[in-house]
Each structure stands twice: as structure tokens, then as C-alpha cells.
Amino acid sequence: MTTTEINATAAGSGRSATATFAQKTAQKERSAAPVDQARVSAVATDALAALHGVIRKHQLTYAEYDALKAWLIRVGEDGEWPLFLDVFVEHVVEEVVNADRKGATGTIEGPYYVPGAPEFAGEATLPMRDGEVGTPLLFQGTVTDLDGASIEGALVELWHADDAAFYSQFAPGIPEWNLRGAIRTGADGRYTFHTIQPAPYQIPTDGSCGALISAAGWHPWRPAHLHLKVSAPGRQLVTTQLYFDGGDYVDNDVAQAVKPELILRPTPAASGAGNEVTYDFPLDPA
């Protein structure tokens, strides 16, 4: 990877994620419930108390307090709040919100979902460039209810990074819907995607998230992953990711979003090109 590409990722992807998040929330805010003052007070009081506890525990200095202020200001200037929160915080929100699910296992959405990708019936090759680099992957399965009965009219949305770990609409120079698409299931509940396997994702190293990661001596990597949203009328939407058995960082995701149920074990494709794997989505009732 060249330095130019790394710079483009930090300057482009983090900031674009902020713009996309602002658009997505503006739509939701119009129908939002009124603010519950007691809940705001309870949560904010405890959040501040947790921070006060950290300051006491580690006997923070003024130099460290000023470094924290400067870093927080920079996260906003870089547009990296969605990146920071989705990498370091979202996994606990997902754990709490989906604790009672019985069907398909969820995990974090991350910063790079865009609604409205091209939709196909039953089977699709994801939009990709001529000669898109990467190992071909046939990814297929069935959307069902909790008893295993197939669901017609389910929507399986798939988005993932390319073989250089860049996401369309966030890194520059990639066609708008590259490696993003959705399949509407027929009566058999089945979906079949033809795509390529993504590469492990590196958190941009030259922005404020990268500065924290390197200052702390952590690593900036997520394992290679497919992102999915699977939904159907009368069913709970599941947002999840799938990983590749034995892949780098599967056991050490910086975003702590891997779960055992989410690890794919692809086999060589019957077609002879690349790999294939089957994964079913049983959806909880709404």
C-alpha cells in the first residue's frame, strides 16, 4: 500500500463517515421520541462518574488532561467520531440491545453502511470493477423463521471492502456502489451472491484514532469481514458481520466484534474459481 493511499483513507474515509452519519441521523431525527430528562441525567451522571473514577485511579496530571482535550478536539476536526465510536464502543451497545435474540447472531454495523444499494432477485454478482482483484467468493444461504421455514421477500444487504481494504463511497476513486448490493429472496428464501473476499481492514493510521492506537501500542487491524443487514416484514432486522476461519486478526479484532457463530469456513468452489460458503439467517419475530 502506498503512502498516498493511506493518507487518502484517513482524510477520506473518516471524514466521509461523519458526513454519511449526519445524513442518516437527520432522517431518523424527524420521527424521534422526545428527550427523557431523567434518563439523560442518569446516564450522563454515571458516564461522568466513570470518567472521574479513571482520573482518580490513574492520578491524572494537567499535562495529560490537556492532551486529552487536544485529542478530543482533533477527533472532531478529523471527522473520526463515527470511526472511533464504532471501533471502541459500539460492540457493547450491540451486546446490550441484542441480548435476547434467539435467531441469527448480530454484531456491530460500523461506519460504512449506505442504504439504497442496487437490489437483485435471488442471485446477484455484486457491482464490481472490470478485473476486480480478489479471490472469488460464492456466498449463499437461506433466510428463515426460527423454525427453519424459508421467508419470501426478505432483503439481504451485503457490503464489504475490496482486496485493498477500501470501501466504496468512503475511500476516493471507487465506483459508487462497488461491492455493495442487496438480494430480495423468492419463495425458497434463498440468496446467492457472487463477490470477492475482502482484505483485513486497517484503521487509518494517520488520523486521531491512529494516533491513539499508536500512542497506546495497540494494533489497528480488523479481520477481513462481510457486512450484512437481513430484514423481512414482521421480523427483527439483524445487522452482522461474517469473518473467515483462520484469517489474520480473527482472534484479535481491534473492534472486538468477532463472535464464534460469525466465522465462515469456506471450501474450494465447485466451479473451480475461488471459494464457496453457505450461511443461513433465522430471523426473530418482530
In angstroms, the CA 18 to CA 130 distance is 30
103 binds ligand MBD (CB under 6 A): no
Binding mask 56-85 for ligand MBD (x = CB under 6 A): ---------------------------x--
87 binds ligand MBD (CB under 6 A): yes
Q: Write out the binding residues for ligand MBD, residues 161-220 only, by CB under 6 A.
A: 201
Q: Which is nearer to Fe ion, 12 or 110 (CB)?
A: 110
Estimate to the nearest angstrom the gap between the alpha carbon of 121 and the chain centroid.
24
Q: Which is nearer to Fe ion, 87 or 232 (CB)?
A: 87
Which listed option, ligand MBD, Fe ion, none, makes contact with residue 87 (CB within 5 to 8 Å by class)? ligand MBD
Which listed option, ligand MBD, Fe ion, none, makes contact with residue 108 (CB within 5 to 8 Å by class)? ligand MBD
In angstroms, the CA 282 to CA 125 distance is 23
Question: 237, 229 in Cβ contact below 8 A?
Answer: yes
Place of cell 463517515: 17
Task: In angstroms, give the least distance from the CB of 150 to ligand MBD.
Answer: 29
Pairing of strands 225-231, 238-244: antiparallel
Task: In angstroms, give the least distance from the CB of 286 to ligand MBD.
Answer: 25
204 binds Fe ion (CB under 5 A): no
Please list, in sequence order, all residues whose beta carbon lies within 8 angstroms of the beta carbon of residue 32, skipping any fewer than 6 positions away.
Answer: none
Burial code (b: 16+ CB inside 10 Å, e: under 16) for 111-135 equals bbbbeebeebeeebebbbeeebebe
110 binds Fe ion (CB under 5 A): yes
14 binds ligand MBD (CB under 6 A): no
189 binds Fe ion (CB under 5 A): no
**CA atoms lying within 13 Å on the CB side of residue 184:** 8
- Listed in sequence order, the DSSP H helices in 32-61 are 37-58
- Listed in sequence order, the DSSP H helices in 160-229 are 208-216
106 binds ligand MBD (CB under 6 A): no
User: According to CB under 6 A, which one of 81, 84, 112, 281 is a site residue for ligand MBD?
Assistant: 112
110 binds ligand MBD (CB under 6 A): yes
222 binds ligand MBD (CB under 6 A): yes
Q: Which is nearer to ligand MBD, 111 or 282 (CB)?
A: 111
Pairing of strands 263-264, 238-244: parallel
Residue ranges that bind Fe ion, judged by CB under 5 A: 110
Residue ranges that bind ligand MBD, judged by CB under 6 A: 83, 86-87, 108, 110-112, 201, 222, 255
